[in-house]
Chain A
């Protein structure tokens, strides 16, 4: 189309954008698993998770390689997601007056929304733990990550926002993981159902793993 020919020339094709979205999503999905496992050391006591945090900070090469890959993935994921969403809205031309959904799942239809809320969560999360510009619960910033976790989640609003974000992450992953296989051409009717189950399971494992921490704080198991 003439109105978008310039953009079309410097952009990858539709399937190219999908592949960028799939591969960057795969990196991020793998990261949240590692992050969750790291977080669960909180249940081994304050010393364990504080040591884990110190270990990470003592290896700037390790942490910055991971951060570089993550930053590139996040930018690629958001960039392709925004482009795809805008193009798809335009292509739909408003859609029919009567909207019927036969099989598109809730998670598939809410990907842009769950994505935006998860992004807002990530920004808040980084401001709290990484940049340390938001203090929660009067806890002083320092090497005591355990104290920051407990102080943060002791505030119900923070815990509820965290839990809600993790449920949205579960929703996002349940469509995303299954879509990775489709986009890379590694799916058929026989495997579709199994991969959907696998993706939903993965989403729930990640979400429940993360949610267990604010729940433990709220229930007074972590002090």
Chain B
């Protein structure tokens, strides 16, 4: 929440002069940092608006603009990324880059802006990375299979309030990838844990619970994400406050699914009574 005091006329008039170290990289090429000076940045601007100002300056100078991902600019779509001074989504916990305001930076400060760094998130250009690996994980099991067009009476499926709350907490994950970018192992366990928890604890998620868990973990592994070693950096950088609880539960569900798969029914006896 923005406090009224922060919206004072004094605040909106204050501007910053910044030095920016921005990662520039062409598709398939080697990247490098380039330094830019940017003057008169209003403190009420968001970080992305500051980047827009930089790009306008680059256009005026006839230079190539900095590519970066963004969409809703209200902290719910998960498109914006950027590692700012080593912190995915910047220095303020619990906000996305688009909701990060320049009043959190000092006048004359040098800000280092990098893309998400992980093998599973290759850089497309500059600060934009390919997060298709997350889409593949969702395609592997981040859904429930239902016949559409014949919705049943909603009250047929009763869900206790605490379970609904827990599922909603997990569903808050916007899939931005800050967990992977902050993890010293490039692990996606917080993301996969959130998605698994969201569906696995609801009645609608039960029929595909084991299949979903095994498939999503396999896809995660195949995509080249690292392994969780319980650093907890993901929780500390998640803009939506997802906790390591979801990883513990993912581990539990995975073990349960493996045991159930191992001892699954082998079917009917064949002809001849084998």
Contacts and interface: CB of A to CB of B under 8 A. Distances in A.
Interface of A: 1, 8, 13-19, 84, 87-88, 90-105, 108-109, 111, 175, 178-179, 181-189, 192
Contacts of B114: 96-98
Nearest to A104: B231
Contact of A100 (B85, B220, B248): B85
B185 interface: yes
B184 A95 contact: yes
A87 to B, nearest CB: 6
A8 B222 contact: yes
Please report whether the interface of chain B is mostly helix, strand, loop or mixed according to DSSP. Answer: mixed
A111 B233 contact: no
A185 B186 contact: no
B217 A13 contact: yes
B112 A98 contact: yes
Please report whether the interface of chain A is mostly helix, strand, loop or mixed according to DSSP. Answer: helix
A183 B251 contact: yes
A13 B220 CA distance: 10
B51 interface: no
B137 interface: no
B254 interface: yes
Nearest to B220: A14
Please indicate which of the listed interface residues B181, B218, B228, B243 has the most CB atoms of chain A within 10 Å of its own CB. Answer: B228
A179 B230 contact: yes
A87 B227 contact: yes
A92 B226 contact: yes
A187 B85 contact: no
Please indicate which of the listed interface residues B217, B229, B233, B236 has the most CB atoms of chain A within 10 Å of its own CB. Answer: B229
5 contacts: A14-B187, A95-B117, A97-B23, A103-B235, A182-B230
B120 interface: yes
A189 B244 CA distance: 7
B253 to A, nearest CB: 7
Given A1-B224, A91-B225, A103 B117 contact: no
Contacts of A187: 244-245, 248
A102 B178 CA distance: 13
Nearest to B111: A98
A105 B232 CA distance: 9
Contacts of B220: 14
Nearest to B232: A103
A182 B247 contact: yes
B118 A96 contact: no
B117 A92 contact: yes
Nearest to A102: B236
